[in-house]
Amino acid sequence: MKEDLLQGEKTGEERSSRGRGAREASRDREPLVPDAGGRGRALSAGHGTAMPQVMPGTAVLAGAPEDGLISGERERTSVAPEGRKKRDDRLGRSRISKEESQEENPASDLRHPASELVRDARDLREGREGRESREERPEKRDAKEEKDELLKALKMLAPGTPLRDGLESILRAKMGALIILVDNPEILELVEGGFMIDTEFTPPNIYELSKMDGAIILSQDAQRILYANTQLVPDPIVPSDETGIRHRTAHRFAAQTGAMVIAISHRRGLITLYRGHVRYILREIEVILSKADQAIQTLERYRRVLDKALVNLTALEFEEMTTVFDVAKVVQRGEMVMRIVRELNGYIVELGVEGRLVTMQAEELVANVEDELFYVIQDYNASSDRSVAEVKQYLGNCSSEELLELSTFSRALGCGATAGILDLAVFPHGYRILHKIPKLPTLIIENLVQKFARLQNIAKASIEELDAVDGIGEARAQAIKSGMRRIQEQVMLDRYI
């Protein structure tokens, strides 16, 4: 009995060893397929192993032999095993590199397919270097330059212009539109599709073309229609706070290129202008007229206050009692008047042909104000490194809060802003008073200031002393004396009326 058991165990071991040898021999004949880790693995379906990864073109049959391959595939692999192995190695390496890149950047698989299509098209058109250059954020331009460009754009869209008539026709028909004014070929590279028109601009033409969904491309001067039914492809990474597709595209296109873009909303009935980083919604004429009337009334009040301050300053100049406070007060009133005028000019531009009466009123109210302000600064500018134009520019860049402080003006005139500086006595050169004398050239005024330095010295000079100045004869010397005497008498009269 014991011998039978030992003989059975020996027979089982021999069978097991033969089975392992057969399996190893069959495994040697099987092609290797790279697994997820890049290591070769035989295609097997038994022995408790998981289902193997099968390469494209390889068939696995249910109930097939242990290697899991059909005879045709086995013959093909046996003919060129080295080529198949090289291909499997390349596939394994590519799969490993792809998995590593996904592990490093897991968010890459979450990109929107539409943005990927746009980026691919842009890369094909302009190349990778062009894309990288556009991704750099452009610096914001000076606020004054942007405002000037906005005023130029508003002139083209003012009531009475052909472009505004066309836009109003689109609004009345309750349709939307996207219109671009550009001539730069580089900007046109961001425009796709559509068809070329190249015809003269007329309001009926742009109205008919707006019935299509695409954007309309006009020339820079809005004299010709270049393209219609086009698609704008701005850089999607340009930030925009707009919600609608049309307005978001217009905002990004204008911010990226600096072009003038007009978006019309058919639901809200609004015309929005984009110019660079500036966004402006055109208002109704009634609203603008109301604001212009309010600005005119404010300008009238400020002009009366400025006139009183100028009369008081002139009287103090003849009395030699002028202080920094008096000069700063006049310059402050003059700068406020000029700011109201600049705001009123914006309303006038936006009104177009409807702003003729407002223009006449404004011109009457601001007559000689800018010249008076210039000569006051020229009389009292104590700064050696800042010209009159630079002083005006400095004051123009001050905020509304800074204009309320008189120390701002004393600092601008070069007098400083220390305590008690407003009570400091100052003396004018005489530019403003001399310009009030009729038929007195600017060159003669410059010679007088260089000779006498102060207004009081000119007023006290005799006919002979004035005659000694270059360019002044006896007749002109008498005209200067009599003219200054009349100005002094008139100022004294206006001061107490």
3-state SS track over 127-194: HHHHHHHHHCCCCCCCHHHHHHHHHHHHHHCCCCCHHHHHHHHHHHCCCCEEEEECCCHHHHCCEECC
Whether 114 is covered by a domain: the verdict is no
Question: What rounded mean pLDDT belongs to the chain?
Answer: 77
pTM: 0.64
Give per-residue pLDDT as tens, 21-39.
545 444 444 444 444 444 4
If one compares 3 and 392, the residue with the highest pLDDT of the two is 392
Give per-residue pLDDT as tens, 288-301.
999 999 999 999 99
pLDDT for the residue numbered 151: 85
Asked which of 391, 410, 427 is the last residue of a domain, the reply is 427
Residue 165 has pLDDT above 50, yes or no: yes
Asked which of 427, 449, 472 is the last residue of a domain, the reply is 427
Return the residue matching tokens 């058109």. 125
**Do 322 and 427 touch, CB atoms closer than 8 A?**
yes
The answer to whether residues 223 and 304 belong to one domain is no
How is residue 311 written in tokens?
A: 């009369």
If one compares 47 and 352, the residue with the highest pLDDT of the two is 352
**Do 350 and 288 touch, CB atoms closer than 8 A?**
yes
How is residue 496 written in tokens?
A: 């107490």
pLDDT for the residue numbered 8: 53
Whether 440 is covered by a domain: the verdict is yes
The answer to whether residues 260 and 294 belong to one domain is no
Count of domains for the chain: 4
pLDDT for the residue numbered 19: 52
3-state SS record for 294-329: HHHHHHHHHHHHHHHHHHHHHHHHHHCCCEHHHHHH
pLDDT for the residue numbered 386: 86
Whether 125 is covered by a domain: the verdict is no
Residue 47 has pLDDT above 60, yes or no: no
Asked which of 401, 427, 453 is the last residue of a domain, the reply is 427
- Quickly state the pLDDT bin for 20 (edges 50, 70, 90): low
Q: For residue 197, what is the domain's CATH number?
A: 3.40.1700.10
| Cα Dmax for the chain | 160
Whether 157 is covered by a domain: the verdict is yes
Which structural domain, as residue segments, surrounds residue 200? 143-282
Of 137-141, 249-253, 342-346, 428-432, minimum mean pLDDT range: 137-141
Residue 315 has pLDDT above 90, yes or no: yes
Of 81-95, 266-280, 361-375, 415-429, minimum mean pLDDT range: 81-95
Listing DSSP states for 17-75 in one string gives HHHHHHHHHHHHHSPEEE-TTS-EEE----TTPPPPP--TT----TT--TT---HHHHH
Q: Cα separation of 163 and 182, whole Å?
A: 14
The answer to whether residues 158 and 238 belong to one domain is yes
If one compares 91 and 303, the residue with the highest pLDDT of the two is 303
Q: Kindly state the percentage of the chain with pLDDT values over 70.
A: 71
**Do 182 and 230 touch, CB atoms closer than 8 A?**
no
The answer to whether residues 408 and 338 belong to one domain is yes
Whether 379 is covered by a domain: the verdict is yes
The answer to whether residues 241 and 305 belong to one domain is no
- Quickly state the pLDDT bin for 278 (edges 50, 70, 90): confident
Q: For residue 437, what is the domain's CATH number?
A: 1.10.150.20
The answer to whether residues 296 and 419 belong to one domain is yes
Q: Cα separation of 155 and 224, whole Å?
A: 17
pLDDT for the residue numbered 36: 40
Q: Cα separation of 444 and 454, whole Å?
A: 15
Average pLDDT over residues 236-244: 89
If one compares 395 and 93, the residue with the highest pLDDT of the two is 395
Average pLDDT over residues 213-221: 91
The answer to whether residues 385 and 441 belong to one domain is no
- Quickly state the pLDDT bin for 76 (edges 50, 70, 90): very low
Return the residue matching tokens 């004393």. 410
Average pLDDT over residues 427-452: 92
pLDDT for the residue numbered 244: 86
Give per-residue pLDDT as tens, 176-192.
999 999 888 888 888 98
Q: 404-430 burial by CB neighbour count: b if 16+ within 10 A, else e?
A: eebbbbbbbbebeeeeebbeeebebbb
Whether 51 is covered by a domain: the verdict is yes
pLDDT for the residue numbered 153: 87
The answer to whether residues 260 and 301 belong to one domain is no
The answer to whether residues 416 and 433 belong to one domain is no
Tell me the three state secondary structure of residue 471: coil
Q: Cα separation of 421 and 407, whole Å?
A: 8
The answer to whether residues 399 and 453 belong to one domain is no
Whether 9 is covered by a domain: the verdict is no
The answer to whether residues 333 and 358 belong to one domain is yes
Q: For residue 409, what is the domain's CATH number?
A: 1.20.1260.110
The answer to whether residues 157 and 244 belong to one domain is yes
